[in-house]
Structure 1
Amino acid sequence: MSRYQAALLGLGLLFMLLLYIGLPGPPERTSQLWGDLNSTVLSGFTPGSSPIFYREVRPLHQARRVDVVLLHGKAFNSRTWEQLGTLKLLSQRGYRAVALDLPGFGNSAPSEEASSEAGRAELLARVLQELGVQNGVLVSPSLSGRYALPFLTRSHHQLRGFVPIAPTSTQNYTQEQLRAVTTPTLILYGELDHGLARESLRQLRHLPKHSVVKLHNAGHACYLHQPQDFHRALLSFLDHLP
């Protein structure tokens, strides 16, 4: 290879390197789905230091100024709410719906911040801020109680509503802490969940503004076992929020 050819090859490689460095990351995906439903479907990562993957469906003309944020249990991730039809249904009813992959689940990488109660509360607060959540309603099944409950006891004034579904970690909070929470709460559980549901219900009854719905013939993941009853209860709660 001549010096001239080597120089051209070097310049070409340098140009490709500079082009690669200058390229932006993968764009947030935006698409129109579900035929004539006037909704925007988004997915991507939050811009913070601990990026969290999210799926979002929002009506183009949001009828209800309430943002529903859906967390998930240990065996699940944000796609669960997409497959169950929850995101689509909420959007059809005029709600903005956002499902998160918690750190270490789905597309979200593990986070050192998630190793402490205060860190988890701060991480969730930051994610909600980065996503521009307003009048948020937090839906928290099972494992996600490790995030939702510390956030609730610290920042409940930021929430419009709270929907715990047999969440973990309720034993970590005193009656006084729970009684100080003024957020309207819908406690959901499956009648066949004889473990975590009973423990969490015993604790969460100390929340002063709560109602309880038991889903019949449903176990721990009651929203999967009885999705129609789950959606009916959730929508009724959302539609009647003050």
Structure 2
Amino acid sequence: MPRGRPALLAVVALLICGLLLLLPAARRHAPARGPANATVRAGVVLGDPAVAYREAAVPRFLAPSRPDVLLLHGQAFTSGTWQALGTLALLAAEGHRAVAVDLPGYGDSPPAGMLATQRDRAAFMQRVVQQLGLRRPVLVSPSMSGRFSLPFLLAHGEQLAGFVPIAPVGTREYTAVQYQQVQTPALILYGDRDAGLGKQALQSLQHLPRHRVVVLPDAGHACYMDKPEDFHRALLGFLGQLQ
């Protein structure tokens, strides 16, 4: 073996060891690119009533130019449902500012005694949107939350970029003419095993002039819980059409 080869091999070995030591640091400083890396923080919208919320931050390497998303919840759920399901993190990873609120009397939000009428609930939703600084959000509204989303949609639909009703309650409280006046794009979602409220809500919501319908197979009333991947796919597809 030539005399200089052991020295050369030693130098190469040192270089390889140095590169191996640098790789973990490079990984630590590389931008996160997946839903699991999205940070979800909690906060409170002050006022009467106060409203607790969870928000997923958009990763820094993504431009926050995609529609904001405001998620409500059903009677058996809270804002934590959207965090546990991965919806908040997924939306943030796709470049959407995603906020889920606890409606009054649910989760960490105290009860409210001044939201008895449709006008009260529409004003409440407008305050939440304004204080959170949401820019024409897409409103996702399952089940019980229809009591809040529908009055807001019909009174202030121009403030929404889109509406995603998931078998909401209260749809029969409005006329076909009222729905026909709303120009907000809508994605009507429900599970094929939700033979009650899902199809009932569709009878009214189909009067929205700019709507399309997605029925999730083998899913019940909380179809997003039964088929989260199908739900996320449909939601992201709708959001993509709004951009």
Interval containing the TM-score (normalised by the shorter chain)? 0.7 to 0.9
Q: CA deviation at 1:203?
A: 0.4
| Between 95-104 and 64-73, the greater mean CA deviation after superposition | 64-73
Q: Are the equivalent residues in 1 in contact too, given 2:40–2:88 (CA < 8 A)?
A: no
Q: CA deviation at 1:39?
A: 4.5
Q: State how far apart, in whole Å, the 1-side matches of 2:63 and 2:77 are.
A: 28
Q: Which residue of 2 aligns with 1:23?
A: none
Which structure has more strand as a fraction of its residues?
1
Q: Could you list the per-position Cα deviations for residues 33-65 of structure 1 after superposition, in whole angstroms to 9, with x for gaps in the alignment?
A: xx9357553211102231100000121344433
Q: Which residue of 2 aligns with 1:174?
A: 175
Structure possessing the higher radius of gyration over alpha carbons:
2
**Contiguous gaps of at least 5 residues in structure 2:** 1-30
SS of the residue aligned with 1:43?
strand
Q: State how far apart, in whole Å, the 2-side matches of 1:241 and 1:161 are.
A: 8
Query: 1:117 aligned to 2:96?
Result: no
Q: Are the equivalent residues in 2 in contact too, given 1:142–1:167 (CA < 8 A)?
A: yes
Q: Which residue of 1 aligns with 2:207?
A: 206
Pick aligned residue for 1:36 from 27, 32, 51: 32
Q: Which residue of 2 aligns with 1:45?
A: 44
Query: 1:86 aligned to 2:87?
Result: yes
Q: Are the equivalent residues in 2 in contact too, given 1:190–1:220 (CA < 8 A)?
A: yes
Q: Are the equivalent residues in 2 in contact too, given 1:103–1:114 (CA < 8 A)?
A: no
Q: Which residue of 2 aligns with 1:58?
A: 57
Q: Which residue of 2 aligns with 1:98?
A: 99
Q: State how far apart, in whole Å, the 2-side matches of 1:39 and 1:76 are.
A: 22
Q: Which residue of 2 aligns with 1:11?
A: none
Q: State how far apart, in whole Å, the 1-side matches of 2:146 and 2:158 are.
A: 18
RMSD of equivalent CA atoms: 1.3
SS of the residue aligned with 2:115?
helix
SS of the residue aligned with 2:215?
strand
| Between 64-73 and 39-48, the greater mean CA deviation after superposition | 39-48
Amino acid of the residue matched to residue 191 of structure 2?
A: G
What are the within-5 Å matches in structure 2 for residues 101-180 of structure 1? 101-180=102-181
Q: Are the equivalent residues in 1 in contact too, given 2:39–2:89 (CA < 8 A)?
A: no
**Identical residues among aligned pairs (%):** 52
Q: Which residue of 2 aligns with 1:223?
A: 224
| Matched residues, number | 208
Q: State how far apart, in whole Å, the 2-side matches of 1:153 and 1:100 are.
A: 20
Q: State how far apart, in whole Å, the 2-side matches of 1:48 and 1:65 are.
A: 28
SS of the residue aligned with 1:53?
strand
Amino acid of the residue matched to residue 232 of structure 1?
A: R
Q: Are the equivalent residues in 2 in contact too, given 1:69–1:137 (CA < 8 A)?
A: yes
- CA spacing shift, 1:113–1:62, aligned 2, 3 Å: farther
Amino acid of the residue matched to residue 50 of structure 1?
A: P
Q: Could you list the per-position Cα deviations for residues 77-133 of structure 1 after superposition, in whole angstroms to 9, with x for gaps in the alignment?
A: 000000000001001100010000000000001112222211111111101100000
Amino acid of the residue matched to residue 159 of structure 2?
A: Q
Q: State how far apart, in whole Å, the 2-side matches of 1:113 and 1:65 are.
A: 34
Q: Are the equivalent residues in 1 in contact too, given 2:64–2:97 (CA < 8 A)?
A: no
Q: Are the equivalent residues in 2 in contact too, given 1:48–1:130 (CA < 8 A)?
A: no
